[in-house]
Amino acid sequence: MTFVRIMGMGYYLPKKVVTNDDLSKCVDTSDEWIRTRTGIVQRHIAANNEACSDLALQAAKQALTNANIAPEAIDLLIVATVTSDMQFPSTAAILQAKLGLRTIMAFDINAACSGFVYALDVARHFLTNGVYRYALVIGSDKLSAIVNWKDRNTCVLFGDGAGACVLGQSDTNAHCVVDGFLGADGSNPDWLCIPAGGSLQPATATTVANHLHFVSMNGREVFKVAVRRMMEAVRGVLERQKLTIADIQWIVPHQANLRIIQALADELGFPMDRMICNIDQTGNTSAASIPVALAQAEAAGRFHPGERILLVAFGGGLTWGASLIQY
């Protein structure tokens, strides 16, 4: 049987840090409101000339180095993002050239904040089937480019970053991606979206004047559905693997709101000190959120051989998913 091993991880957070106090100078908000409602203290913001592929490039280089794999060995490149450098071509195609990869299959996945978990599972299937030997999977997002910096309902929540992992075929189950359970429900696409700029409402002077090219969100509805859908994903993957939550040592949840993470921990009966959280430092970095938190926790030596780690995400779509990793 072929296992799919995480051979190395990397992450990148832009240098510029914007604190809650900095934001309170631009919109009617306060450090106290943002901390208590979201758990966010600061976020990293990319430079004007840093695009999604540039963030991804830094994370990917680090992952390749940590995996000790040459770029030429990579057979498959997937970038999860909602902030592609351009509407098309894909960020993955652009990154193929920037990284000097062979002319391999490279594509983007748009599953919003669940993107990395989706991408991980797609790559897992390609490797398990023996189609490819090594895959590079990246979550990269520059939310600062699509947020209305005058809208306090959304601008305080997001940040920029990228996280990457190199996957490879393996004969043993150590450091492996075991399973994934994914879902989507598009009945309320407007709960979290960019209304214009697509084929439904192409860009016009009016769409620009009406701020329809920025993230629009129904925070209360998303909050309510997030915990329910993440529970569904966790239960789905545990049931399929004939495990219970007591068999899991760590959860790396999507970093959208500390209260959502706490609610998930409560519902699962899972200790908060085993939930990996970096939201205070990063805000919600969308598809980058889980791989950045995972790479940081691994670099800090928090995981031990034999432990099981669950990644669990939700995002625009709505989409959701969980991945099980055997460390």
Ligand X SMILES: CC(C)(COP(=O)(O)OP(=O)(O)OC[C@H]1O[C@@H](n2cnc3c(N)ncnc32)[C@H](O)[C@@H]1OP(=O)(O)O)[C@@H](O)C(=O)NCCC(=O)NCCS
Under the rule (CB under 6 A), what is the footprint of ligand X? 29, 33-34, 37-38, 113, 152-153, 156, 192, 217, 219-220, 222-223, 256-257, 284, 315
* Residue partners of 181: CB distance under 8 A and separation at least 6: 233, 236, 237, 240, 321, 322
CA angle 84, 318, 17 (to 5 degrees): 50
The residue (of 140 and 284) whose beta carbon lies closer to ligand X is: 284
**Smallest separation (angstroms) from ligand X to the CB of 147:** 11
**Smallest separation (angstroms) from ligand X to the CB of 288:** 12
**Smallest separation (angstroms) from ligand X to the CB of 262:** 12
Alpha-carbon torsion, ordered 283, 99, 167, 245, to 10 deg = 0
**Smallest separation (angstroms) from ligand X to the CB of 156:** 4
Strand, helix or coil for residue 313: strand
- On whether the CB atoms of residues 43 and 156 are closer than 8 A, the answer is no
Residue 113 appears among annotated catalytic residues: yes
**Smallest separation (angstroms) from ligand X to the CB of 124:** 23
Q: How far apart are CA 161 and CA 232, in angstroms?
A: 27
DSSP-assigned letter for residue 158: B
DSSP-assigned letter for residue 229: H
Task: List phi, psi (to 5°) of 207.
Answer: -65, -35
Q: How far apart are CA 255 and CA 282, in angstroms?
A: 8
Pick the catalytic residue: 44, 66, 155, 254?
254
As given in the structure block, the two tokens for residue 236 are 């789905």
Amino acid at 305: P
The residue (of 77 and 162) whose beta carbon lies closer to ligand X is: 162
Pick the catalytic residue: 113, 155, 193, 277?
113
* Residue partners of 41: CB distance under 8 A and separation at least 6: 19, 20, 31, 34, 35, 280, 281
The residue (of 29 and 326) whose beta carbon lies closer to ligand X is: 29
The residue (of 15 and 220) whose beta carbon lies closer to ligand X is: 220
Cα atoms in the Cβ-side hemisphere of radius 13 Å centred on 171: 0
The residue (of 107 and 223) whose beta carbon lies closer to ligand X is: 223
- Which residues are designated catalytic? 113, 254, 284
